[in-house]
Chains A and B, each alone.
Chain A
Amino acid sequence: EVLLVESGGGLVQPGGSLRLSCAASGFTFSNSWMNWARQAPGKGLEWVANIKKDGTETHYIDSVKGRFTISRDNARNSLYLQMSSLRAEDTAVYYCVGGTGWLTRYWGQGTLVTVSS
């Protein structure tokens, strides 16, 4: 069974930083592109970033470029999202997502990030 478990969400002030983690199991993590996606309250799904199997290539949505960094540790089957200079509009449930190529097949339950003073 595929399991993706996010952690690290919480309340943070505007301009602050937060690091999300995702523990993966049940599939070959090291052979999978991995992603972060989010859903703001009352809004639709939004893809945030992805990272190649070996970590040598990353892609980001424009609104987080220069502020968020996606990384992975294949030895630990773990995915990370370092978020800095957080804004109110970054408030969302953040999902860890894996799959085949760029197909986002497997989704975690999500972790809530709230940016507010």
Chain B
Amino acid sequence: EIVLTQSPGTLSLSPGERATLSCRASQSVTSTYLAWYQLKPGLAPRLLIYDISSRATGIPDRFSGSGSGTDFSLIISRLEPEDFAVYYCQQYGSSPLTFGGGTKVEIK
């Protein structure tokens, strides 16, 4: 099983600032099968990024993903008020599919 470790656990930032979220895998992720999701209370999880760096339909270009092998990042270039949420990375290349523990981006 591939274990994903996200850091930091909480990120306290102001609107307009840049957010950098990290996701480290316990072993190399199969191919490019790494995704990022946004979770808000009461809403369905929202796919942001798939295949490490491809934005899902309708996702603004302030969200970007990068990385390879075992180290991955999600960057939000300029935080908007609606971006304050919890973010999860996920690998979907091997079973069981696994998620990281999440990073909460909160308003400072």
Known: A95-B45, A107-B45, A110-B44. A59 touches B37 (CB 8 A): no
Asked if B107 CB lies within 8 Å of chain A CBs, one says: no
Asked if B35 CB lies within 8 Å of chain A CBs, one says: yes
Smallest CB separation, B94 vs chain A (Å): 9
> 0/1 per residue, B83-104, Cβ < 8 Å to A?
0000010101101111111100
Known: A44-B100, A44-B101. A104 touches B47 (CB 8 A): yes
A105 to B54, CA, bound (A): 12
Among residues of A, the one whose C-beta sits closest to the C-beta of B56 is A105
Please, which residues of chain B bring their CB within 8 A of the CB of A88?
Answer: none
Smallest CB separation, B78 vs chain A (Å): 26
Smallest CB separation, B37 vs chain A (Å): 7
Structural contact, A109 and B44, CB atoms closer than 8 A: yes
Please, which residues of chain B bring their CB within 8 A of the CB of A101?
Answer: 92
Among residues of A, the one whose C-beta sits closest to the C-beta of B37 is A45
- Could you say which of A50, A59, A102 contacts B33, with CB atoms under 8 Å apart? A102
Structural contact, A45 and B39, CB atoms closer than 8 A: yes
29 contacts across the A-B interface (CB closer than 8 A): A44-B88, A44-B101, A44-B102, A45-B90, A45-B99, A46-B99, A47-B96, A47-B99, A50-B95, A50-B97, A59-B96, A62-B96, A95-B44, A101-B92, A102-B33, A102-B92, A102-B93, A102-B97, A103-B35, A103-B50, A103-B92, A104-B92, A104-B97, A105-B56, A107-B45, A107-B46, A107-B47, A108-B44, A110-B44
Binding site for A on B (CB under 8 A): 33, 35, 37, 39, 43-47, 50, 56, 88, 90, 92-93, 95-102
A44-B102, A45-B39 are known; give 7 further A-B pairs, CB within 8 A. Answer: A44-B101, A95-B45, A101-B92, A102-B33, A102-B97, A104-B35, A104-B90
Binding site for B on A (CB under 8 A): 35, 44-47, 50, 59-62, 95, 101-105, 107-110
